[in-house]
Amino acid sequence: MPRTETIYVYLLNEGTDAWVPVSAERVRDNVFRIIDCGGEDDAAQFKKGELVKCRRQRLSDDESLVAYEATN
């Protein structure tokens, strides 16, 4: 069973910068497959099943893995 991790995906049309935590599995290095968007699929920049590149970025007081680009 693949190990899931929490990554953050940008929410579109929020008026301010907003990020939602989603479940994802690591595919390779900095590439993850989104498994579950927790009900935010319509508003999220990336959707369930998409492969995304992630990087470490400061959100609030913590550094988190943030999806920044779709990939294959």
As given in the structure block, the two tokens for residue 39 are 């009900």
What's the pLDDT at 28?
93
pTM of the full structure: 0.89
What's the pLDDT at 34?
96
Q: How far apart are CA 2 and CA 37, in angstroms?
A: 17
pLDDT per residue as tens digits for the range 11-58? 998 778 899 999 999 999 999 999 998 776 678 999 999 999 999 999
What's the pLDDT at 3?
83
Angle (CA) 25-54-30 rounded to 5° is 65
List the chain domain ranges.
4-71
What amino acid is encoded at 21 in this protein?
P
pLDDT per residue as tens digits for the range 1-10? 678 999 999 9
Contacts of 45 (CB under 8 A, 6+ apart): 9, 10, 11, 12, 67
